[in-house]
Amino acid sequence: MSNGLEVDPSELRGISVNSGVVAANLDVLLRLLRNAEGDGAAPGGGLDVVARLREVRTGWEERLATVRDEAADLEHRLDAAAGDFTAAEDGNRAELAAVGARLERGAAAP
């Protein structure tokens, strides 16, 4: 990471990509958790513990889905913010170039 405190759009994009990595990982993890439930045949029919385990699994599936959505949303927002900063930077650069050109023309004038 470069030093200084200004926002660097490329770094924001990097963090956005990483947030996407987290979201994608969570997607895989969720599939694994759901697959672990198998065909629904409980390993201990009639045992209370099976129902409680299902509640634990469902609870985590819901939370992980929420966390995955948050990571995905963060990915998109950071990417959009990086785009905004890039556009603003480009605008500033164009404005500075125009000011420079005007100054040069003024200096060249008799």
Partner 1 sequence: MITVSQLNAARPADFASEAGNWSQFATWAGTAKEFVDQEMADLLRERSGETVTAALGRVTVLADNCEYARLQSGLVAAALDGLAEELGDAQRRLRAALAEAAEHGYPVGEDGSVTFPEVPGADGGTGWPGGTAHQGGNGPVGDYLDSVRALIGGPHAITAHGLAQRLGRALRQAEEIDERYARTLAALVVEPGLRITSAMWADAGEDLRTVGAALTGLLSAADIPAGATPAENAAWWNGLSEREQDTYLALFPAAVGALDGLPATVRDRANRGVLEIEYARVSTELAEVRAREPAAGDPGHGDWQREHDRLAGQVRGMESIQRRLEAGGSGGLPETFLLAFATEGNGRAVVAVGNPDLADHTAVYVPGTGARLENVEGDLVRATRLWRESTVAAMGESVSTIMWLGYDAPQNAMPFEQGEIIPSATSRGYALDAAPALRDFAAGLETAAGGPDAGHTTVIGHSYGSTVVGAAAKDGGGLATDDIVAVGSPGMLVPYAKDLGVGDGHVWSMAAGTLDDIVPNAGRMFLGENDAGIGIGRYGIPYLKTDLVPNVPSDEQFGAHIMANDSTGHSAYWDENSQSLRNQSRVIAGRYDDVELG
Residue 108 neighbours by CB distance under 10 Å: 7
Residue 25 interacts with partner 1 (CB under 8 A): yes or no: yes
* Span interacting with partner 1, options 14-22, 88-96, 99-107, rule CB under 8 A: 14-22
Query: Which residues lie below 8 Å from residue 65, measured CB to CB, with a gap of 6+?
Result: 26, 30
Binding residues among 69-98 for partner 1 as defined by CB under 8 A: 70-71, 74, 77-78, 81
DSSP state letters, 74-106: HHHHHHHHHHHHHHHHHHHHHHHHHHHHHHHHH
Which residues, 32 to 71, sit near partner 1 by CB under 8 A? 32-33, 36, 43-49, 51-53, 55-56, 59-60, 62-64, 66-67, 70-71
Residue 99's identity, in one-letter code, is: V
Nearest to 73 by CA among 15, 109, 20: 20
How many Cβ atoms from other residues are within 10 Å of residue 71's Cβ?
A: 19
Options 29-37, 86-94, 99-107: segment touching partner 1 (CB under 8 A): 29-37
Residues in the site for partner 1, rule: CB under 8 A? 1, 3, 5-8, 11-12, 14-15, 18-19, 21-22, 25, 29, 32-33, 36, 43-49, 51-53, 55-56, 59-60, 62-64, 66-67, 70-71, 74, 77-78, 81
